[in-house]
Structure 1
């Protein structure tokens, strides 16, 4: 233990110093030996660390979303180069570089917290063993050993023996009950955080193995925390429960204010924006204007939820502008990508009787034009040679053209047949 503590001395000293400074503040309110003074000092340490890690949390969100979007492309690369692992890795790295995605960014907050977690663990273990560490001197050590939270010392564990708990002036029942409740709350907060991420803040249009992995982690992580929690001191459980609650609240804020495109959370968020615009006639807040601006910039690349939002604005006679604001427009219509396209009105289909009547009428109009020519032809035929069959053939051709017109065939001069078809 001393060897491990010496390895983490570069971080245990700053952590113990921060705890001592917070203890001075809370000790003036609750008393130096109060469990609330030491417990709130640990909670304040968590809050301070998480505030410093907010930039990493933002990178984690961006990386997680980019990984979701890239899953189809990554799967295509794996199938294309499944027999060439080196080429597969090269194409993966090229894809990450082109999109600016870092797969490790999703783990940055956890990795950044790990040194502080181990440092606090060693500080509390040293307090349980009665050893000074970092900025905690003998007086502070005695004060910390006397501090209890609901009857459980900060340095006590679920697996501690009765003799060790007696040395810390605590009962086995109190320690077991307090640690069990904290372990359950710690695991439940971890499960709820992961669940709200999977059910509300995931793009439902992308079905990839990544989503299945996240679902598995949603059940695996709470079990891991429950198993490991029995070996954590009460102070470490306070630390981990506080950081889980912080993560849960931070995740809820992100889901409500900056949801993943294509998720249920985005649909709920845009509906709230639409109600705000309906009641106020304008987009309220910088965040909402930035969201509307991004939707307008996407153009035809909008997803179904974003098209639904643009449709809602158009129905209210409003048009989204490039700067994220909305303006009234009398000519506002639903965009092609924002809603259903206007239906093209097809002409009504006429009945067969009407089509035959129209064809007969057209043929009747054409007959007077052909009569002079037919009469002239008949007179010439009579002058040249008295043939009885000529008028009959002419009559047959006239009646034949009439029947062709009635049947809906093309009127007017017909194209001569090819000599081979005569």
Structure 2
């Protein structure tokens, strides 16, 4: 670690100068030799660096979202050019260029603050060794060596021996307790920051290997930092814990105000927006209007969260406009309720076998209906051609006609014959003799 820190020795002078300037301010409040004055100076250094890195953080957020959106296309390219690695790389670079995505942008904040991190490590190591570095000369060096935070010197480490800790006027027990607690807090903040990103700000409708990789890193990174933390001085642990807390808070703000489409955070944001619109009757704020405007412009490409938001607007009697505003109309509620009722009255979907059976029955029923007309005509013709002397037969026919049950039974028998009689002869059939008993 000392070798790596020496590579960034060129930046130790500005880092030490910034710390000394903050120490002058906090020293006037808490005392120049207190741990609070030197500890808060390191915290202020972190805040200053992270404020300067906000543009890089914005690029990191955009790059992460673009990478999530490109995962299905990247997976398709990998499957298509599985045997040609060179062509696969070319297509990947082409995809990055077309979408304006830089995979390294997600690492920019960490890479940008690494020189300051190692420079601070180099400064604290020099303080522990009693060496002047940067603008920290003799009096400041002695003041920094006397500064303790909860009984642990700023330059002490978890792996220091009892003699090294005694040289800094501290006990080995206090140093190890304080460093162990700070290492656990540093690892926990790293874990919850990554977990917050994975659980709330990821599009859950897209399952890609990128999500699995991020999930693995969520567990691996805290373990790596815990292993490295035992070699960090207390001042460096303060630096890293502060930057983790800053990252977690900054990320929480971004997730609440500008969540990833399709994520749980977007659903929560749109529900808050819907509640605000229902209460006030308008979209307040330019940011919220831009959100509504973007969702309206998507049209049929809206995700489930955005469709649920529009349904809620309709039920509340509002309609979103292309400029991001909303209008209130009583007819919207009626249309929404009418559409819901129409959807409830739709018939149940039939299975394939049921559709085939109904399709086979329709032509048979039609044939039986068409065949009943010529049968009736034949019956009338045969009655007209009866001899006049068959009065007994006519009376018998009238008696049978007075019984509707037998007629209905005959009709039902004829319909059954029409349904199952594809093999029967078509055309006119010879009528039976009136004197027949059947």
Match of 1:331, SS state, is: helix
Provide, for residues 99-121 of structure 1, a one-character-per-residue CA deviation record: whole Å limited to 9, x for no partner.
11110011011101100100100
* Partner of residue 167, structure 2: 167
Q: Which stretches in structure 1 are left out of the alignment for 5+ residues?
A: 379-402, 409-415, 417-422
1:245 corresponds to 2:245: yes
* Partner of residue 235, structure 2: 235
C-alpha change, 1:48 and 1:324, in structure 2 (3 Å) is: same
* Partner of residue 20, structure 1: 20
Q: Is the 8 A contact 1:201 1:264 kept in 2?
A: yes
C-alpha change, 1:341 and 1:13, in structure 2 (3 Å) is: farther
Alpha-carbon separation, structure 2, partners of 1:342 and 1:99? 43
Match of 2:319, SS state, is: strand
Provide, for residues 319-367 of structure 1, a one-character-per-residue CA deviation record: whole Å limited to 9, x for no partner.
111121111123336999xx97953867xx9xx9xx99x969x969x98
* Partner of residue 146, structure 1: 146
Match of 1:332, SS state, is: helix
* Partner of residue 122, structure 2: 122
Query: How many residues are treated as equivalent by the alignment?
Result: 374
* Partner of residue 352, structure 2: none
* Partner of residue 217, structure 1: 217
C-alpha change, 1:342 and 1:107, in structure 2 (3 Å) is: farther
* Partner of residue 204, structure 1: 204
Alpha-carbon separation, structure 2, partners of 1:87 and 1:104? 21
Match of 2:327, SS state, is: strand
C-alpha change, 1:359 and 1:287, in structure 2 (3 Å) is: same
C-alpha change, 1:177 and 1:328, in structure 2 (3 Å) is: same
C-alpha change, 1:2 and 1:291, in structure 2 (3 Å) is: closer
Counterparts of 1:372-383 in structure 2 under 5 Å?
none
Question: 1:281 deviation in Å?
Answer: 0.9
Question: 1:54 deviation in Å?
Answer: 0.9
Provide, for residues 96-143 of structure 1, a one-character-per-residue CA deviation record: whole Å limited to 9, x for no partner.
111111100110111011001001000100111111111211111111
* Partner of residue 288, structure 2: 288
Q: Is the 8 A contact 2:6 2:122 kept in 1?
A: no
Report the more deviating stretch, 265-274 or 326-335: 326-335
* Partner of residue 110, structure 2: 110
C-alpha change, 1:340 and 1:119, in structure 2 (3 Å) is: farther
C-alpha change, 1:169 and 1:66, in structure 2 (3 Å) is: same
Match of 1:324, SS state, is: coil
Question: 1:200 deviation in Å?
Answer: 1.2
* Partner of residue 388, structure 1: none
Alpha-carbon separation, structure 2, partners of 1:335 and 1:154? 69
Q: Is the 8 A contact 1:311 1:335 kept in 2?
A: no
C-alpha change, 1:273 and 1:122, in structure 2 (3 Å) is: same
Counterparts of 1:64-103 in structure 2 under 5 Å?
64-103=64-103
Q: Is the 8 A contact 1:314 1:334 kept in 2?
A: no
C-alpha change, 1:177 and 1:92, in structure 2 (3 Å) is: same
Q: Which stretches in structure 2 are left out of the alignment for 5+ residues?
A: 348-357, 386-413, 420-426, 428-438
C-alpha change, 1:345 and 1:147, in structure 2 (3 Å) is: closer
Match of 1:327, SS state, is: strand
* Partner of residue 412, structure 1: none
CA-atom RMSD in angstroms: 3.5
TM-score by length of 1: 0.81
Runs of 4+ in 1 over 4 A off after TM superposition: 1-6, 333-336, 339-342
* Partner of residue 400, structure 1: none
Alpha-carbon separation, structure 2, partners of 1:335 and 1:18? 65
TM-score by length of 2: 0.78
Q: Is the 8 A contact 1:35 1:149 kept in 2?
A: yes
* Partner of residue 301, structure 2: 301
Alpha-carbon separation, structure 1, partners of 2:74 and 2:34? 55
* Partner of residue 193, structure 1: 193
Question: 1:19 deviation in Å?
Answer: 0.5
Provide, for residues 133-183 of structure 1, a one-character-per-residue CA deviation record: whole Å limited to 9, x for no partner.
112111111110000000100000000011111110010011000000000
* Partner of residue 266, structure 1: 266
Match of 1:319, SS state, is: strand
Q: Is the 8 A contact 2:2 2:122 kept in 1?
A: no
Provide, for residues 174-198 of structure 1, a one-character-per-residue CA deviation record: whole Å limited to 9, x for no partner.
1000000000000111111111111
* Partner of residue 277, structure 2: 277
Question: 1:249 deviation in Å?
Answer: 0.8
Alpha-carbon separation, structure 1, partners of 2:26 and 2:85? 57
Question: 1:265 deviation in Å?
Answer: 1.0
Report the more deviating stretch, 94-103 or 321-330: 321-330
Alpha-carbon separation, structure 1, partners of 2:26 and 2:296? 51
Alpha-carbon separation, structure 1, partners of 2:210 and 2:2? 41
Match of 2:298, SS state, is: helix
Question: 1:256 deviation in Å?
Answer: 1.3
